Amino acid sequence: MKVVSSAMKRAAGKNQNSATSWKYCPDRQITQDSGSGNNWARGFHVHGPRCREAISNIIRLEVEACDLFGGFLTAQSMAGGTGSGLGTYVTELLKDEYPSACVLSHCIWPFESGEVIVQNYNALLTLAKLQEFADGIIISQNESLSSICKKALGIPRPSFDDMNDVVGHSLASIFLPASWRSVRPCEWNEHTRKTARDKGDNQDFAKAGIYGAGMPVRLLSDLVSKLCAHPGYRMLSLRFTPQISPKSLNFTTFNWRAQTKQLQQMLVTGALGDFDMDWNLTLPDKGTSTGAAASRFKGGRTVNRCLANLLVLRGIGSHDADVSGFEHESMYPVWSVDPLSVAMNPAKLGKYEMSAGLLSNCQSSVMCTFRALSRAYGMFASRAYLHQYFQHGMEMASFDAAFATVEDVISRYHAL
C-alpha cells in the first residue's frame, strides 16, 4: 500500500502544474496492507486468487474505455514475491479472460549481486509461467540499467528513478507511434507512396517488395507477429541509442550512419550499452561461409544470433537511413522468415534529434537466465528455503517443471 500511495502522490505532484496533466484514477488501483514476503508462491497462490475478482473488474473497465483495444503490456519485477508471483497470476488472468488479445510482459531482472536471497527461484518460476501465458517477454536487467546510468549518462550513484528513466526512454523508442518503412527505401519514393495511398491499394508497394510501407504500426499485435511468431521463442531484449549525458547534447552531432553502426555493434556482440562492446570484433564477410562458421566473428567469438529484430528510427531522415547492416546473414538462422522489420517517425524523441530503438528476439536475452538457473540449482540441491514455498501450495514437482521449462528455453536459443 505504501509503495502505491507514494507513486500516486509523486505522479500528482509532477503533473499538478501542467495544463495537459494526467492522474492515476483512484478507483483503478488495488492495495493491501501486507506484501508477499519475497515469496513467489504466496503472491501467485494466495494474493492472486484473493484479488482475482477485483483485478478482473478493473481490467474490464479499462478495456471497455478503450477506443481501439490492442492488447496488454504488463510490467513486473522478478525478484520479490508480489511483482513476480502476483504479476504472473495477473498475466495468466489476462490470457484466460481475453484469449485473443496480445499480452506482452516487461520484466525487470534483479541485480546479479542479489537483491533477495530467493530471487533466482522467483525469477525462474515467473519466467516458466510467462512462457505459457505471455506472447512476448521483454527482459530489462537492473545490472545493465545501472551501468548505462554510470558509464553512459555520467550518474555516479544512480537511483531507481534514474534507472526507471532509462527503461521508460527505451520503451518509448519502440511503443510511441511509428509507421512501417522498407528495409531499402531506395526502392520507393514519396510519389509512389502517395499514389498508392490515394488509390487505396498496396499493389505498387507489393511490386517493390515493401508491402505495407507507410502503414501505422499496430500495437501490440504487430510486435508480437513480427518478433514472436514462433511459440518456442518469446524472449526479447531492448536496446536504444544514443546513450549520452544530457550535458553532452549541445556538443553532439547526430547522423544516422553513426547511430545505426553503434546499434548494430551492440546487437552482434550482445551488449546492452555502447560502453561494454568490443569495436574490434567484426562480422565475417557476406557469402564467405554458411552455418556455424558464419556465426563467428573474425577472432573466434560467436555472433549474438537473432530470430527477428524490430528497428524503430525517430527523427529527421529516418525514412531513408541505411539499415542494411542489420540484414547480415550470419546473424540469423536460415529458416528465419522475416528477420528484420523497420519502422520510422520523422518526429524526434525527447531531446534527441535522431534516435533508434531495437527490440530483438535473440540469444543475449537468455544469458542472465542461464546464470540464475545455475544458482537456483545450487540452492535447490540443498533444499534451501523450499519450505517457504511449500506452505503456500507448491510442491517439489512445481520446481522441477519450472526448471525444465527454463532449460528448454535456453537450449532452443543456444541452438540458433
Half-sphere exposure at residue 311, Cβ-oriented, CA atoms within 13 angstroms: 29
3-state secondary structure of 354: strand
Whole-number pLDDT of residue 192 = 47
Burial of 103 from C-beta contacts in 10 A (0-12 / 13-18 / 19+): buried
Unique residue bearing C-alpha cell 561494454: 276
Unique residue bearing C-alpha cell 545450487: 378
Distance CA(360)–CA(295), nearest Å, equals 17
327 assigned to some structural domain = yes
Cell numbers linked to 209: 517488395
> Cβ contacts of residue 137 below 8 Å, gap of 6+?
104, 105, 107, 127, 130, 131, 234, 235, 236
115 assigned to some structural domain = no
Distance CA(123)–CA(92), nearest Å, equals 16
pTM of this structure: 0.88
Expressed as residue numbers, the domain containing 303 is: 179-367
Task: Give me the number of domains the chain comprises.
Answer: 1
Distance CA(157)–CA(140), nearest Å, equals 19
Whole-number pLDDT of residue 205 = 42
Whole-number pLDDT of residue 207 = 40
229 assigned to some structural domain = yes
**Treating both helix axes as pointing N-terminal to C-terminal, what angle do 367-381 and 396-414 enclose, rounded to 10 degrees?**
150
Give the gyration radius of the chain's Cα atoms: 22
Profile the chain (416 residues) by mean pLDDT over runs of 10 residues: 70 59 76 85 95 95 92 95 95 96 96 90 97 96 94 92 94 96 64 47 42 79 94 95 87 90 92 77 64 51 90 94 92 92 94 94 93 95 95 94 97 94
259 assigned to some structural domain = yes
Contact 74, 44 (CB under 8 A): no
Closest C-alpha among 19, 39, 139, 106 to residue 79: 39
Distances (CA, A) of 216 to 118, 127, 198, 221, 259: 43, 31, 16, 12, 23
29 assigned to some structural domain = no
Whole-number pLDDT of residue 22 = 63
Whole-number pLDDT of residue 203 = 41
Instruction: Provide the CA 243 distance to its chain's centre, in angstroms.
Output: 17
Q: What is the DSSP letter of 139?
A: E
Which residues is 107 bridged to in the sheet?
Answer: 76, 139
Whole-number pLDDT of residue 275 = 74
Whole-number pLDDT of residue 247 = 84
Whole-number pLDDT of residue 196 = 44
Whole-number pLDDT of residue 25 = 79
Distances (CA, A) of 332 to 47, 76, 335: 42, 30, 8
Cell numbers linked to 113: 549481486
Contact 181, 344 (CB under 8 A): yes
Whole-number pLDDT of residue 9 = 73
Contact 76, 107 (CB under 8 A): yes
Report the DSSP pairing between strands 354-362 and 235-241.
antiparallel
Unique residue bearing C-alpha cell 525514412: 319
277 assigned to some structural domain = yes
Cell numbers linked to 387: 519450505
Whichever domain contains 271, its CATH number is: 3.30.1330.20
Whole-number pLDDT of residue 197 = 47
Contact 105, 71 (CB under 8 A): no
Query: Other C-beta atoms within 10 Å of 288: how many?
Result: 10
